[in-house]
Chains A and B, each alone.
Chain A
Amino acid sequence: MRLLLDQIDHTDNKLKAYITVCGESALKLAEAAELQLKAGQDLGPLHGIPVSIKDLYETAGIRTTCGSKLMQDYVPRTDCTVVRRLKLNGAIVLGKLNTHEFALGGITPPTRNPWNLRHIPGGSSGGSAAAIAACSAIASTGSDTGGSIRIPASFCGVVGLKPTYGRVSRTGIFPESWSLDHAGPITKRVQDAALLLRIMAGRDELDPTSSGLPVPDYLEEVKLGISGLRVGVPTNYFYEHCDKEVAEAVRSAIDLLKDLGCRMVEFEFPCIPEIMAAYTTLDSCEASAYHERSIEQRAGDFQPDVRLLLEQGMFIPATYYIQALRIRAVIFTQITNLFDRFDVIVTPSEPMVAPEVGQQTVRFGDLEESLDSALVRYLAPFNLTGLPALSIPCGFSGSGLPIGMQIIGRGYDESTVLRVGYAYEQATDWHMRFPVID
């Protein structure tokens, strides 16, 4: 615990990953946990383990700001379900991590990327991924509506898992978009993500969207090997408008999976324009509905980019919202049917490495694209369909920034996704690299 607090002291004035550090209480709880263990009382697999929490998750007695001026003094009375479960298994809350305001963006100002402080960490769970990469957290939580776990995981070179929609309760986590929001872990290693998911997942009576299906022992299942698994490799979309270095790194990773015994199945990914239209509509309208009163009363307290998104959503017609829901059903069927032919899909997580702070657009050949659009286009399809998706590091650019690979599975089949991630991680050493922060 002291080592982590020292590392926060050493790095966080530059990184700004943490909004709140609970140093004193964490040390006291760590001492108590040690005494409990000595007395033969073991609370579970996270006994005495410090966990850092995205500041969108309610934590009893600890300020929960959502990265917003609107919430700067909010101290919840109760823990959200995920934090309650983590604590019941022995975890100690070390602190609260920065998020793009109300999770409505992929940048997370003012947090910086530990691999290069002139670059963004991604978002919205940017504090979570930056802290894991910088070793100022050993386990953290994030939330993902259009990629907010996988974007920063990719940019910071760590592991981020968006589970199946409904696998993890969202009770007590501030919503961005109810029908697209997912909660999940961000960690350094795949096994840590497997352990955290096992504890975070499961039915919660307070969240009617949560699933009552049994939660597998992911920690055991990751070790089952991947020989014979079929890997779907899309031939379109995911390598168009993608940096060459990123495409090459992911293709090398796919070759390695082949060497590890997987069979590759090429296929065409369907419905791209409809996916982005439906995702944008649902995200925009649902976020605006949730924040309607705040926009009425305190619009000036939002950051300008977030305010614009929220105001925009109010002008999208309800007919569009309903059509987005209806086409979502068609897209869901088309994408889930693909899994008759393979067990997982592998794609790049992002079309580029972490952009510089302040960058508004990205260029791919002749195409200049808004950063907001580029950040979500490989990831949002799996928020729309609710399928589990993992981002793990698969290389570094010439400029020394991490590259992420996305592994997507069938609904509720996080085990296979984690198995592939674990096997790849065991065969590579990307996760053994650490940034030098100076």
Chain B
Amino acid sequence: MPSEVCKLQRITVDDLRKAMRLLTVSLSEERLQILTSFLNQTLETLQPLSKLHLPKELEPTTYLARLREIGRMKQSEDN
């Protein structure tokens, strides 16, 4: 199975400054400083997403279809 890695490194204020060019918002240097520290903490929580090995067929909204299917099954059981 091919590796599907989108790894994020620890980020710096300069990284955010560059990334901001892609956004519609413009943040001050002071905001970027605050945000860098906060975002680095969050990225630790997000790390498992950089290590996933998922089947290529796995489509992003599958869970909603499954939830509806469970509902229909429940309805048949109740009937």
Contact = CB atoms under 8 A, between A and B. Distances in A.
Interface in A56-112: none
19 contacts: A214-B75, A216-B78, A278-B49, A292-B25, A311-B27, A312-B42, A315-B39, A317-B8, A323-B54, A326-B54, A326-B58, A329-B62, A332-B67, A336-B70, A385-B63, A386-B67, A411-B74, A412-B71, A412-B74
Contacts of A256: none
Contact of B46 (A277, A329, A336): A277
Contact of A280 (B4, B23, B45, B66): B45
B48 A308 contact: no
A412 B70 contact: yes
B1 interface: no
B48 to A, nearest CB: 4
Interface of A: 164-166, 209, 211, 213-214, 216, 273-274, 276-278, 280-281, 284, 292, 295-296, 299, 308, 311-312, 314-317, 319-320, 322-330, 332-333, 336, 370, 373, 385-386, 410-413
A314 B25 contact: yes
Interface string B59-79: 111111011101110110010
Nearest to A274: B48
Main secondary structure of the interface of B (DSSP, over half): helix
Q: Which of B34, B45, B72 has the most CB of A within 10 A?
A: B45
Interface in B20-72: 23-25, 27, 31, 34-35, 38-39, 41-42, 45-49, 52, 54, 58-64, 66-68, 70-72
Given A211-B71, A410-B74, A412-B74, A323 B25 contact: no
Given A330-B58, A411-B71, A411-B74, A308 B45 contact: no
Given A312-B39, A326-B52, A277 B47 contact: yes
Given A320-B8, A330-B54, A385-B63, 9 more contacts: A211-B71, A213-B71, A213-B74, A308-B34, A312-B35, A312-B39, A314-B25, A328-B63, A333-B66
A16 B45 CA distance: 34
Nearest to A411: B70
B14 to A, nearest CB: 13
Interface residues of B, number: 40
B8 A325 contact: no
B60 to A, nearest CB: 4
Contacts of B47: 273, 277
B32 to A, nearest CB: 9
Contacts of B6: 317, 319-320, 323
Given A281-B49, A336-B66, A213 B54 contact: no
Given A213-B75, A329-B63, A410-B70, A277 B48 contact: yes
B79 to A, nearest CB: 9
Contacts of B41: 370
Contacts of B11: 315
